[in-house]
């Protein structure tokens, strides 16, 4: 009886430790649960990206991706100012390069790179291809230029929602945020635990900015992010995550 009495608090402690172990295992499994990743890419450096789109993302703690080109650089005509651009970068926004299909890459890329260097802007790892301009044959050239991510629109049968990422080169799909059933696309990405990139612009119909639709979709992202089903992030961060 005396031994049983002495053993009782040890049994209680053992049960407590076993429960702690179960809780830790549950936390670990939850942390390992893969989530879908989503990016919002702005194909234009229009000042409205800063004045209209940025505040909505900021309210939710999200960041966006800015597409840069020879004609789309901070301070250029029709683009946001250098100060506005720097504010976005300081807030965690990232950049990609916009493919120019009007001339060969050997002609436009050196000129763009020179302008980027002069403005102290890093080119990043991603190249964004407008609709119907991407080909798998470009991959080798992209890698030679230091790019590791190609953003396409499903050309040549490439999947729009990749679920894994190669350590050397990654192809990811994109659709317009205002285009063909964006919520359905996002739900598919969540179900597959894959990656989906949405574009917003001020010219092409598929991605044409609409205040009501834009706010609705960003709010929808936030809802699923709160449920720990989705991570709204940059392109390069998503690449690392899916590796």
Q: List the chain pLDDT tens, one digit each, 243 residues.
A: 888 888 888 888 888 888 888 777 766 655 557 899 999 999 999 999 999 999 999 999 999 999 999 999 999 999 999 999 999 999 999 999 999 999 999 999 999 999 999 999 999 999 999 999 999 999 999 999 999 999 999 999 999 999 999 999 999 999 999 876 889 999 999 999 999 999 999 988 889 999 999 999 999 999 999 998 999 999 999 999 999
Cα dist from 195 to 23, 78, 95, whole Å: 30, 31, 18
- CA angle, residues 235, 241, 243, in degrees to nearest 5: 105
Give residue for tokens 């609705």: 216
For position 61, what pLDDT does the model report? 96
Token pair in block for residue 26: 């549950």
Q: Provide the whole-model pTM.
A: 0.85
For position 25, what pLDDT does the model report? 73
Buried b (16+ CB within 10 A) or exposed e, 25-49: eeeeeeeeeebbbbbbbbbbbbeeb
For position 54, what pLDDT does the model report? 98
Rounded to 5 degrees, φ, ψ at 126 are: -110, 140
For position 29, what pLDDT does the model report? 59
Tally of CA atoms within 13 A in the half-sphere of 159 that contains its CB: 12
For position 91, what pLDDT does the model report? 97
For position 27, what pLDDT does the model report? 64
User: From the CB of residue 214, how many other CB atoms can be counted at a distance below 10 Å?
Assistant: 18
Token pair in block for residue 226: 């709160």
152-173 tens-digit pLDDT: 999 999 999 999 999 999 999 9
């Amino acid at each position: 009886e005396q031994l049983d009495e002495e053993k009782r608090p040890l049994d209680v402690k053992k049960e407590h430790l076993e429960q702690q172990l179960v809780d830790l295992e549950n936390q670990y499994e939850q942390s390992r649960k893969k989530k879908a990743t989503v990016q919002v890419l702005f194909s234009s450096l229009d000042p409205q990206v800063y004045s209209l789109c940025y505040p909505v993302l900021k309210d939710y703690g999200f960041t966006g991706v800015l597409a840069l080109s020879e004609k789309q650089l901070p301070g250029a005509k029709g683009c946001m100012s250098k100060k506005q651009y720097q504010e976005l970068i300081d807030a965690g926004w990232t950049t990609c390069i916009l493919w120019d299909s009007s001339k060969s890459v050997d002609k436009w890329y050196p000129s763009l790179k020179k302008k980027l260097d002069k403005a102290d802007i890093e080119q990043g790892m991603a190249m964004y291809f407008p609709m119907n301009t991407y080909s798998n044959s470009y991959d080798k050239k992209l890698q030679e230029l230091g790019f590791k991510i190609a953003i396409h629109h499903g050309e040549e049968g490439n999947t729009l929602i990749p679920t894994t990422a190669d350590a050397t080169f990654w192809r990811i799909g994109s659709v317009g945020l205002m285009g063909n059933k964006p919520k359905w696309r996002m739900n598919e990405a969540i179900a597959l635990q894959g990656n989906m990139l949405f574009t917003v612009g001020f010219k092409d119909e598929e991605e044409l900015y609409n205040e009501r639709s834009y706010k609705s979709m960003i709010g929808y992202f936030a809802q699923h992010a709160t449920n720990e089903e989705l991570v709204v992030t940059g392109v390069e961060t998503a690449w690392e995550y899916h590796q």
